[in-house]
Structure 1
C-alpha cells in the first residue's frame, strides 16, 4: 500500500470518527434535553427546535458560504486567496453605496459584485503576472479594503456607517411556509432571496468543478500545471478566471451581507468581522468540496445563532463564554477531522514556455 493511499484512508477514518463523535454528542444533548427540559441541555434543544434559529443560521451562512466557494475555485487553481475578507468588505460597502445612489437593491448588489471582481483582478495581476507572494498579496487586499471602505463611507456620509437602504425582503413559498408539520424547517420556505442564491451557487459550483471541462482545468492547474500546459491550455488564463470567479462569488457574499441588513457598518473590523477568514476554515474543513464547505458553514452559523439565543436565556454561564462556543466547537471538530489535502501546486508560480496557446 502506498504512503498516499494509507494517508488518504487515515484521513477518511478520522473524518468518520469525527462525524460519528459529533452525531453522538448531539444525540446525548438531545436526550438530556428531553429528559430534563429545565436544564441547560433542555434550553439548547428548545433553541435548536425553533424556526428562528434555522432562519438565523441560513442568513448568517450566506456571506461565509459564498466566500468559501470563491476560495475553493481560487485555491483549486493554485492561487491561495486569503484576501476573501477584503473582498467581502469592499463589496458590502459598494453594494450599499450603489443601492443608495440608484435606489435599486439589485443594482446595488451588482455594484458590490463588480467592486469585488475589480479588486480580485488587481490581486490576480499582482500574483500571476508579477509573481508576488500570494499570502502577502492576500493580506494587502484585506488591509486595503479594511481601510478604504470605512474611509470612503466617512468621506461620503460623514461617518463610518452608511445610511439605511431598502432590503431585498423575503421570498415566501405558499402553503409550505405555513405547514406546521415541517416545524423549524418552514424557515427554508420563507427566506431572503440571497439564501436561495446561496443554495444555487453551491449546486452550480459543485457541478462546474466536477462535471465540466473548465472544472477539470481548474483542478489540473492546482495539481499539475505542467500537464495542463502540455495539453495546450493556458495555466495563467485558467488561474485568472478562477481568481475572478472567487471575486464574483465573494462579491455576492459581501453584497448579500450588507443589503440583507440594509446598511454598511464600518466601525472596528467592519460588519464583516472575520467572516472571510471563517470561510477559509469552512472550505478547508469541507475538503474543497462546495457541498462540504456549505455544511461546514451551516455548522458554524448554527452554533453562532444558538449562542446568540443562549445569551438571552440567562442560563448561568457568562455571556463571554457563550460567545466563544462556535469558535471552540470549530477548533475541536477541525482537530478531530485530520489533515486536509491542499492542491499540490497551491501557492506556487508557474511560467509556461508558451503560455499564449
Structure 2
C-alpha cells in the first residue's frame, strides 16, 4: 500500500512537471528560441557539467552504502579544484601544457583521496559523528583553498591555466549528432562514462560490492565472515575521495581553467547536489548519472535562457537548478538508506 502511494506520487510529479514544461514552452513568446536551445551543443555542455555531480554522487553512494555518510564531498571537490589548477600552473613550463593538465588531474585525485582518508580516520578510528566530521571537512577546505590562493597568487581567484582539449574518437565521432555528443569530448567526460557502468557492475556483481553493501546493512555478518568492516569502509571512503578528485579537476581543467575562490568557490554546491543525485538514483550509479544529468541540464538551460534574453532577474535564473532539487525531493525523494549508515561500528580488527 505504501509503495503504491509512493508510485502514485511519482507519477503525479512527472505529469505535473511535464505539463508545466509543455505549457511554458507553448505559452512563451520565446517558444521558437526555446525550441532552438536544445541542440547537440546544449546536450554536450550538459554532459560536461554533469561530470562533477555524477562522480561526487557515485563516490558518495559507495561511502554511504558501506555505512559512512560522507557529506564532506563538497569540501573534497573544492580541494581537488584548487589543487588541479595549482599543479597545472606550476608544472606547465617544465612538462608542457598537455602533460601538466594530467599532472593536475592526478594531484587533484591524490589530495582529495587523502582528504577522504582523513575523514575516514576521524569517523572510523576515533568514532566521531559522521555528519559533524563531514561538515568539518567541507568548512576546512572552503577556508583553506581561498586562503592558499591568496598566499600563492595574491588573489582569491587564480590566473587561468592550460585545460584539456576535446578528443574526437576516430570513426565514432563521425556519427551524426551522437558523435558530437558522446565521442567528441573531454577526457574527464570519457572517464565519467567509463566509471559509471564499472561502478554499477562492481557494486552489484563483485565480492567487493557485496562487502560494501553488507558493511552498511549487516556489518556484524561481514565481520563474522572474516572480512574487516573497517577496511571495507576505508576503501569505500577513499573511492569517494578519488572520484571527487576527478570531478573537482573536471570543473577547472575541462572548462574555465581557473580556480574561483569567491563565495562557495567554483564548486558552488555541486557536492551537495551529488548527494541528492545518488538519493534520487536510489544508490544506483546509473540512476545517479541520470539525476546528475537532469540537474546539469537545468544548469545549462538557465545559462542559455539568459543568453537569448529572457526578461527575468538573473538571480532567479541561477536558482533554477536548486528549485529543481526541491521539486525532485518532494516527488521522488523517498529512498531507503542503508540500515547502519551513520553508525560507528566496533570491530575486532581495530
Q: TM-score, normalised by structure 1?
A: 0.90
2: CA distance, partners of 1:112 / 1:121: 14
Q: Which residue of 1 aligns with 2:102?
A: 106
Q: Distance in 1 between matches of 2:31 and 2:321?
A: 16
- The match for 2:268 is 273
Say whether the 8 Å CA contact 2:172–2:179 is kept in structure 1. Answer: no
CA distance in 2, matches of 1:189, 1:130: 46
Match of 2:96 in 1: none
Following the alignment from structure 1 to structure 2, what is the Cα–Cα distance between the partners of residues 10 and 210? 28
1:56-95 equivalences in 2 (<5 Å): 56-95=45-84
Matched with 1:3 is none
Aligned to 2:129: 133
Matched-pair contact (CA < 8 Å) for 2:215–2:222: yes
Identify if the C-alpha distance between structure 1 residues 17 and 209 changes in structure 2 by more than 3 Å, giving closer, same or farther.
farther
DSSP-derived class of the 2:328 partner: helix
Query: Residue 243 of structure 1 aligns with which residue?
Result: 237
CA RMSD of aligned residues (A): 2.1
Alignment of 1:1-357 (within 5 A): 6-19=1-14, 21-23=16-18, 32=26, 39-48=29-38, 50-103=39-92, 104-174=100-170, 176-179=172-175, 181-182=176-177, 186-260=180-254, 261-352=256-347, 354-355=348-349
CA distance in 2, matches of 1:281, 1:99: 31
Q: Tell me if the contact between 1:44 and 1:306 (Cα under 8 Å) persists in the aligned partners.
A: no
Given that 1:11 and 1:338 are in contact with CA atoms closer than 8 Å, whether structure 2 keeps it comes out as: no
Give the Cα–Cα distance (whole angstroms) in 2 for the partners of residues 221 and 7 of structure 1.
27
For residues 56-94 of structure 1, what are the alpha-carbon distances to aligned partners after superposition, in whole Å with 9 as ceiling and x for unaligned? 101111111111111000000000000011000001111
Query: Aligned partners of 1:62, 1:114: CA distance in 2, in Å?
Result: 18
Q: Deviations over 1:162-214 (max 9, x none)?
A: 222211110113455455x53x7732222111111111111111011001100
Query: Which 5+ residue runs of structure 2 have no aligned equivalent?
Result: 93-99
Shift of 1:323: 2.4
Q: 1:8 to 1:345 in 2, by over 3 A?
A: farther
Question: CA-to-partner distance for each residue in 1:230-271, whole Å, 9 max, x for gaps?
Answer: 111111111111101110111110111111121211122111
Would the aligned equivalents of 1:117 and 1:247 in 2 still touch at CA under 8 Å? yes
Q: Which moved more, 1:307-316 or 1:275-284?
A: 307-316
Give the conservation status (yes or no) of the 8 Å contact 1:68–1:283: yes
Going from structure 1 to structure 2, the CA distance change for 1:19 and 1:214 (only over 3 Å counts) comes to farther
Contact 2:280 2:333 in 1 (8 A): no
Q: Counterparts of 1:134 and 1:168 in 2: how far apart (Å)? A: 35
| Inter-partner Cα distance in structure 2 for 1:170 and 1:41 | 32
For normalisation by structure 2, the TM-score amounts to 0.91
Residue 13 (structure 1) shift? 4.5
Question: What do residues 99-124 of structure 1 show as CA deviations (whole Å, max 9, x unaligned)?
Answer: 22222111111000000011111100
Please say if residues 64 and 279 of structure 1, whose CA atoms lie closer than 8 Å, have aligned partners that are also in contact: yes
Deviates most, 321-330 or 140-149: 321-330
CA distance in 1 between counterparts of 2:318 and 2:250 reads 24
Per the TM alignment, residue 226 of structure 1 is displaced from its structure 2 partner at its CA by 1.1
Q: Say which SS state the counterpart of residue 324 (structure 1) adopts.
A: helix
